[in-house]
Structure 1
Amino acid sequence: MYNVITYGCPVLYLALMVAGAIVAGRLNGGPAARERRWRQAMAMWTVALTLGLACAVAHVCAGSRVSAVIWVLSVATAGALMARYRPRQAADRERRIRVGPPTSLQDYLTRFDLNVAVTWAKNPLATVHVPCPWCAAADFAVFDVPPGSSGARDMIAALSAHHTCLECRRGGRYLITHADPEHRRYHYQVIQTLGDEPPAWLAAGYDHAVRR
């Protein structure tokens, strides 16, 4: 058991710390995506901190003071990383919450830009987060896209399925009217099948926000 603590725990600790740093460093997408990455990084660092504390206690009990001091310093490192990044995590969350339901086309575009995201938590799959086409709330449609030419087919199939927004309770699907995967050009309409009529400013500003 002592050998496991001596050799296995440092490897696991370093793996958690490095993985958390990699996740925290890949902050692509809007605040919704960044908030998810903050949570992932914080979870890894919290496990590393807990592991470090446990190993420090184990080494103290075993009489290995030098190893215990090293683990205490490791715990301090994990705590410092969490203290450094937590304000940025809170800022992203606050910014996302502050942008509520849109009341104008500009509000809609701002919120849509904040909530659209692509993450790579499931390498090599890319996870696409599409906001609601009527209120721009996050995660109206969430789907994985594999690399290569099959990704376009998977994206079209996912968007063509029916989705319902948990915020405005409108539902519908995307109708792809033209697809050019080679040049990444897609023309589409949004077919609404559930919920209230879209606001007049949205219908006037976007000819694809139609109801059938």
Structure 2
Amino acid sequence: VAVRRVDLDRRNEQGILHHLDPQRFFLLANTAGCYSADEAVRYARLAREAGFNDFIKLEVIGDRETLLPDVEGLLQAARTLVAEGFRVMAYTNDDLITALKLADLGVAAVMPLASPIGSGLGLLNPYTVRTIKSRLSVPVIVDAGVGTASDACITMEQGVDGILMNTALAEAANPETMGRAMRLAVEAGRLAYLAGRMPRREIAVPSSPISGLID
């Protein structure tokens, strides 16, 4: 729930929160639309006062065109919110050093982007996401950029703990069918990761024995 973009008064029947029972649904507040650490902290506190739980998806945007995160502001806001008892899920770029710093601050999860928000470009840099996952002990949830089921499958093959998606479903011609496709893709990608893929080779290797051939 984008705290800055919704009516937080649950009594208002025109607002979405009036129709969502927090006892039935897990409502994750986020600081979407915040362009400074101070803004993000203020809206996180507002979410808590409005009755949300202690989880907060922390976004501090640094550029209005690409919506890429402001790393300096993100770290500043994360430090403040963790100290205040929030369970911070930090949206960040796919940079290992930033991810390590966030983990050191005590965030609940690190959320590197696959590609820019709403772009649907899929996972642009599997290596960096895979490296982040291998180095962190906190959950790694890829956020932003997944556009279709194949993107979700490839992302889960990197070993991450999950994917957060919105636009890929909301803008699909048939959101319900796309949702089912995404679920199956996530399951397939996770299973492939657990199974362990064959090594990549730059030469051909026969798939059947080459000894004992009949002349």
Q: TM-score, with normalisation over the residues of structure 2?
A: 0.27
Q: Taking CA–CA contacts closer than 8 Å with sequence separation of 6 or more, which of the two structures ends up with the larger relative contact order? A: 1
The structure with more strand, counted as a fraction of residues = 1
